[in-house]
Copies of this chain bind each other. A is one copy, B any other.
Amino acid sequence: MFTGLSAFPLTPMNEDGIDEAGFITLVERLAAAGVDSIGALGSTGSYAYLSRAERARVAQLAVAHAGQTPVMVGIGSLRTRDVLNLTEDAQKAGVSGVLLAPVSYQKLSADEVFGLFETVSRNLSVPLCVYDNPGTTHFEFTDELHGRIAQLPNVASIKIPGVPADPAAAKARVDRLRALIPEHVTIGVSGDAFGATGLNAGCDAWYSVIGGLFPKTTLAITRAAQAGNAAEATRLSERLKPLWTLFAQYGGSLRVVAAAAELEGLVKHPCLPLPLKAANDLARRQIVDLIKELELS
List residues of chain A with CB under 8 Å of any chain B CB: 15, 43, 48-49, 78-81, 102-103, 105-109, 111-113, 115-116, 119, 135-136, 138, 251-252, 254, 273-277
Contacting pair A275 B49 (CB below 8 A) = no
Q: Which residue of B lies closest to A133 (CB)?
A: B105
A107-B251, A274-B116, A274-B119 known; A15 vs B136 contact (CB < 8 Å): no
State the CA gap A81–B49 with chains docked (Å).
Answer: 10
B residues near A113, Cβ cutoff 8 Å:
275
Min Cβ gap A257→B in Å is 12
Q: Which of A15, A111, A119, A276 lies at the interface centre, i.e. has the most chain B CB atoms within 10 A of its CB?
A: A276
Interface of A is mostly: loop
State the CA gap A46–B105 with chains docked (Å).
Answer: 9
State the CA gap A274–B116 with chains docked (Å).
Answer: 8
Q: Which residue of B lies closest to A77 (CB)?
A: B49
Contacting pair A136 B276 (CB below 8 A) = no
Q: Which residue of B lies closest to A14 (CB)?
A: B81
Min Cβ gap A167→B in Å is 29
Quick one: copies of this chain in the complex?
2
State the CA gap A234–B109 with chains docked (Å).
Answer: 32
B residues near A136, Cβ cutoff 8 Å:
105-107
Q: Which residue of B lies closest to A84 (CB)?
A: B15
Min Cβ gap A83→B in Å is 9
A15-B80, A78-B49, A275-B113 known; A135 vs B107 contact (CB < 8 Å): yes
Q: Which residue of B lies closest to A137 (CB)?
A: B105
Contacting pair A275 B116 (CB below 8 A) = yes
Contacting pair B43 A80 (CB below 8 A) = no
State the CA gap A251–B110 with chains docked (Å).
Answer: 12
B residues near A273, Cβ cutoff 8 Å:
78-81
Q: Which residue of B lies closest to A51 (CB)?
A: B82
State the CA gap A106–B103 with chains docked (Å).
Answer: 11
A15-B80, A15-B81 known; A105 vs B48 contact (CB < 8 Å): yes
Contacting pair A43 B116 (CB below 8 A) = no
A49-B78, A78-B49, A115-B277 known; A43 vs B106 contact (CB < 8 Å): yes
Min Cβ gap A281→B in Å is 13
Contacting pair B48 A276 (CB below 8 A) = no
Closest 7 pairs (CB-CB, A-B): A80-B274, A48-B105, A116-B275, A112-B275, A49-B79, A79-B273, A80-B275
Q: A79-B274, A79-B275, A111-B277 are in contact. List 20 more A-B contacts (CB 8 A).
A: A43-B105, A43-B106, A48-B78, A49-B79, A49-B105, A78-B273, A80-B274, A81-B274, A105-B136, A106-B136, A106-B251, A106-B254, A106-B276, A107-B135, A109-B251, A113-B275, A115-B275, A116-B274, A116-B275, A138-B138
B residues near A135, Cβ cutoff 8 Å:
107
